[in-house]
Amino acid sequence: MRKIKITGYGVYLPDNIYEVDGQRRYRANKNDTQLSMATAACRKALENGKIDIENIDCIVSTSAVGIQPIPCTAALIHEQIAIGTDIPALDINTTCTSFITALDIMSYLVDSGKYNNVLIVASEIASHGLNKKQKETFDLFADGAAAIVISKSDSNDQGVIASMQRTWSEGVHATEIRGGLTGFDPTFFSEETRDEYLFDMNGMSLLRLCSKKLPLMFDDFFKENNLSMDDVDLLIPHQASRALPLIMKKLNVPKGKYVDMVKDYGNMVSVSVPHLLCKLLEDKTINKGDKILLCGTAAGLTSNILLMQI
């Protein structure tokens, strides 16, 4: 057990709502930027936890897509909430599951005593990169930001119990934005190349790969850690798509044991998991002592599982 606890949390959702087929997607307004949303979520998390920024020991940004190629996104957030301090800022990225990866990694640093309080923030403005020609993805994604503060816990029953990450690059081209950095740089932009700079997902190919790989990974996760699904109170999966119930069925997760709010919030990229985590803490669906399993798949194809007693 890596002894950590959640001591603050905050969410920012834009108030512009796109409705389609009875589904709701929060989408950035003109005034919302990836940075403004990240900043708002961080401020709420600090306020919620009654924590001064001076007491934060590290700021970690987990957005899948950054704000600028240089510097890292956490440094830009630092300017908004921590200018004048020495707080280290860094980015951790596994696309949609970046938040789980960062929580996992930072739990080692908090448990070891390196840092006492770490602010982890995800912010995504997916709507800017969507391709209207791909209706499935255009209608699926949403914008927003969520932040939590994790802190050292003294309790033996609070923290990260086990975690696992796997990457299967057979699926690396099934979810991409190819253009914008060194692989296909911005200077090649034209109306003809526009699609290279937009989000491109092959949902069917991903679903096939997930169906093949995920059941084995979940089995291994439980076996290697001497655990079973009975040790989990609630699964909080990345809200990847409307196929979520299908995947949960493949994993033998009964209805009611996992959170599916794709209808209400869509896929918020790296924000989905921390957003739901904050929401469920706020409405007391999850409470101290509960064992929650954060999981999800991400471009890569990467999959993360993290079991935490909150």
Q: Nearer Cβ to its own copies, position 156 or 182?
A: 182
* 181 sits near its own copies (criterion: CB under 8 A): yes
Of 130-138, 170-178, 256-264, 285-293: span binding its own copies (CB under 8 A): 170-178
The answer to whether residue 153 forms part of the interface with its own copies (CB under 8 A) is no
User: If you search the block for the tokens 């999800």, which residue do you land on?
Assistant: 296
Q: Which is nearer to its own copies, 36 or 48 (CB)?
A: 36
Cβ nearer to its own copies, comparing 63 with 158? 63
Query: What is the Cα–Cα distance from 233 to 231, expressed in whole angstroms?
Result: 7
**Taking the C-alpha atoms of 28, 32, 38 and 39 in order, what is their torsion angle to the nearest 10 degrees?**
-150
Question: Taking the alpha carbons of 183, 189, 190, 196 in that order, is the dihedral positive or negative?
Answer: positive
Instruction: Give the one residue of 109, 148, 251, 278 binding its own copies; rule: CB under 8 A.
Output: 109
| CB-based burial label for 181 (10 Å; 0-12, 13-18, 19+) | exposed
> Could you tell me whether strands 16-20 and 144-152 are parallel, antiparallel, or unpaired per DSSP bridges?
unpaired
Residue 138 found at the interface with its own copies (CB under 8 A): no
Q: Which of 29, 54, 108, 133 binds its own copies (CB under 8 A)?
A: 108
Q: Which is nearer to its own copies, 91 or 122 (CB)?
A: 91
- Judged by CB under 8 A, the residue of 47, 54, 170, 282 near its own copies is 170
Q: What is the Cα–Cα distance from 140 to 267, expressed in whole angstroms? A: 6
Q: Is 122 in the site for its own copies (CB under 8 A)?
A: no
Q: Both tokens of residue 136?
A: 């499935």
231 scored as a contact of its own copies (CB under 8 A): no
Q: How far from the centroid of its chain's Cα atoms is residue 252's Cα?
A: 23
CA distance 87 to 79: 11
Is the CB of 6 or the CB of 72 nearer to its own copies?
Answer: 72
CB of 141 to its own copies, least distance (A): 12
33 is a contact residue toward its own copies (CB under 8 A)? yes
209 three-state secondary structure = helix
Q: CB-based burial of residue 50 (10 Å sphere; 0-12 exposed, 13-18 middle, 19+ buried)?
A: exposed
Task: Note whether 11 binds its own copies by CB under 8 A.
Answer: no
| Number of residues counted as binding its own copies (CB under 8 A) | 71
| Coil/strand/helix, residue 154 | coil
**Residues of this chain, 65-94, that bind its own copies according to CB under 8 A:** 65-72, 74-76, 78-79, 82-84, 86-94
Between 139 and 176, name the residue whose CB sits nearer to its own copies: 176
Closest CB to its own copies among residues 64, 280: 64
Q: Examine residue 169 and tell whether it contacts its own copies (CB under 8 A).
A: yes
